[in-house]
Chain A
Amino acid sequence: MSGPRRAASGLLGVMLAGICLAGAVLAAGPLAHREVLPNGAVLIVAERPAIPIVVVRVSMPGGAVRNPADAPGLANLTAELVTRGTAHRSGPELDRAIEFVGGGLDAGAGRDSVIVTLSVLKKDLSLGLDLLAEVLREPAFPADELARKVADIQASLRRAEQNPDTVAARTLGPLMFPGHPYGLPPAGTVESVGRLTREQVVAFHQRYYRPDGASIVVVGDVTTAEIRQALRQRLAGWKAPATRLPAVPRPAITVPAQTRTITRDLTQTTVLLGRPSIRQDDPDYYPLAVATYVLGGGSASRLYTRVREERGLAYSVYASVQPGRYGASYVVSLQTRTDAVAEALRLVREEMSRMGREPIAAAELELAKSYLIGSFPLRLDTSGKLASFLGAVEDNGLGLDYAETYKARIARVTTADVQRVAARYLDPATFSSVMVGK
Chain B
Amino acid sequence: MLVLAGGAAAQTAPAGPARFAVTEGTLDNGLRVLIQEDPRNPVVAVQIFYRVGSRNELPGATGLAHFLEHMMFKGTPTRGRGEISRLIEQNGGRDNAFTSKDVTGYYVNIAADKLDLVLDIEADRMRNLLLDPAEIDAERQVVMEERRSRIDDDPEGVVYEAMNSLAYVAHPYRAPIIGWMSDIARINRGELRAFYDTYYQPNNAILVIAGDVKAPDALAMVRRHFGPIPRGATPPPMTAVEPPQQDERRLVLRKADARLPMVNIAWHVPNYTSPDAPALEVLSTLLSEGRASRLYRRLVYEKRMALGAGGEYSYTSLDPPLFWFYATLLPGQSPEAMEQALLAEVEQLKREPVPTEELQRARNQIEAAFVWQQDSVFSRASVLGRYELMGSWRLLEDFLPKVRAVTAADVQRVAQRYFVVDHRNVSVLLPVPAAGADKPADAKGSR
Q: A interface vs B, CB < 8 Å?
A: 1-5, 27, 48, 50-53, 91-92, 95-96, 99-104, 119, 121, 148, 151-152, 154-156, 158-164, 171, 256-268, 298-300, 304-305, 308-316, 335-337, 366-367, 370-371, 373-378, 380-384, 429, 433
Contact = CB atoms under 8 A, between A and B. Distances in A.
Interface of A is mostly: mixed
Contacts of B82: 299-300, 304-305, 309
B17 interface: yes
Interface in B249-266: 256-260
B367 A102 contact: yes
Which 6 pairs, one residue from A and one from B, show the smallest C-beta to C-beta distance? A374-B92, A102-B368, A312-B141, A299-B85, A315-B146, A315-B145
A1 B435 CA distance: 32
B361 interface: yes
B441 A4 contact: no
Interface in B237-258: 256-258
28 contacts: A1-B66, A3-B70, A100-B360, A100-B361, A102-B367, A103-B368, A148-B304, A155-B260, A159-B307, A161-B259, A257-B447, A261-B440, A262-B438, A262-B441, A263-B438, A263-B441, A264-B434, A268-B148, A300-B86, A309-B82, A312-B138, A315-B149, A335-B148, A337-B148, A367-B89, A370-B90, A380-B41, A381-B378
A270 to B, nearest CB: 9
B290 A314 contact: no
B178 interface: yes
B361 A96 contact: yes
Interface stretch (B96-104, B219-227, B388-396, B405-413): B96-104
Contacts of A336: 145
A4 B70 contact: yes
B172 interface: no
Nearest to A23: B92
B260 A159 contact: yes
B257 A266 contact: yes
A367 B90 contact: yes
B253 to A, nearest CB: 13
Interface string B142-172: 1111101110111100000000000000000
A27 B141 CA distance: 42
B142 A4 contact: yes
B297 interface: yes
A4 B376 contact: no
Interface string B200-226: 000000000000000000000000000
B365 interface: yes
A104 B365 CA distance: 10
B377 interface: yes
Given A27-B42, A155-B260, A314-B145, A433 B446 contact: yes
Contacts of A337: 144-145, 148
B231 interface: no
Interface string B345-359: 000000000000100
A159 B93 contact: no
B132 to A, nearest CB: 12
Contact of A299 (B86, B92, B304): B86
B96 A4 contact: yes
A101 B446 contact: no
B369 A313 contact: no
Contacts, number: 248
B60 interface: no
B436 interface: yes
A304 to B, nearest CB: 8
B16 to A, nearest CB: 5
B145 A265 contact: no
Given A1-B98, A3-B99, A257-B445, A52 B149 contact: no
A121 B260 CA distance: 37
Given A96-B357, A335-B148, A367-B86, 16 more contacts: A4-B70, A4-B142, A92-B291, A99-B291, A102-B367, A121-B371, A159-B307, A261-B440, A311-B141, A316-B145, A335-B145, A380-B41, A381-B376, A381-B377, A384-B375, A433-B446
Given A263-B441, A378-B43, A164 B138 contact: no
A155 B148 contact: no
Nearest to B146: A315
Contacts of A305: 82
Contacts of A382: 375-376
Contacts of B86: 299-300, 367
B437 interface: yes
B247 to A, nearest CB: 30
A391 B7 CA distance: 44
A353 to B, nearest CB: 14
Nearest to A220: B375
Contacts of A266: 152-153, 257
A375 B95 CA distance: 11
A208 to B, nearest CB: 24
Contact of A121 (B138, B150, B368, B445): B368
Given A51-B16, A309-B82, A312-B139, A4 B89 contact: no
Report which residue of B89, B360, B365, B442 has the largest number of chain A beta carbons within 10 angstroms of its beta carbon. B89
Contacts of B152: 266-268
Nearest to A100: B361
Nearest to B63: A1
A162 B258 contact: yes
Given A3-B97, A52-B16, A367-B90, A158 B146 contact: no
Contacts of A92: 291-292, 297, 301
Given A50-B40, A256-B445, A377-B43, A312 B92 contact: no
B371 A260 contact: no
B109 A4 contact: no
Contacts of B91: 370, 374
A323 B290 CA distance: 32
B135 to A, nearest CB: 8
A102 B440 CA distance: 46
Contacts of A48: 40
Given A102-B367, A371-B90, A377 B376 contact: no
Nearest to B377: A381
Contacts of A373: 92
A151 B297 CA distance: 16
A365 to B, nearest CB: 12
A7 B96 CA distance: 9
Given A4-B142, A92-B301, A374-B111, A99 B290 contact: yes
A313 B141 contact: yes
A95 B96 CA distance: 36
A3 B92 contact: no
A5 B258 contact: no
A336 B142 CA distance: 9
B434 A51 contact: no
B186 interface: no
Report which residue of A305, A381, A383 has the largest number of chain B beta carbons within 10 angstroms of its beta carbon. A381
A119 B377 CA distance: 19
A376 B43 CA distance: 10
Contacts of A152: 300, 307, 330
Contacts of B18: 50-52
B373 to A, nearest CB: 10
B374 interface: yes
Contact of B291 (A95, A335, A433): A95
Report which residue of B300, B367, B368 has the largest number of chain A beta carbons within 10 angstroms of its beta carbon. B368
A48 B317 CA distance: 34
Contacts of B257: 162, 264-266
A238 B103 CA distance: 52
Contacts of A335: 145, 148-149
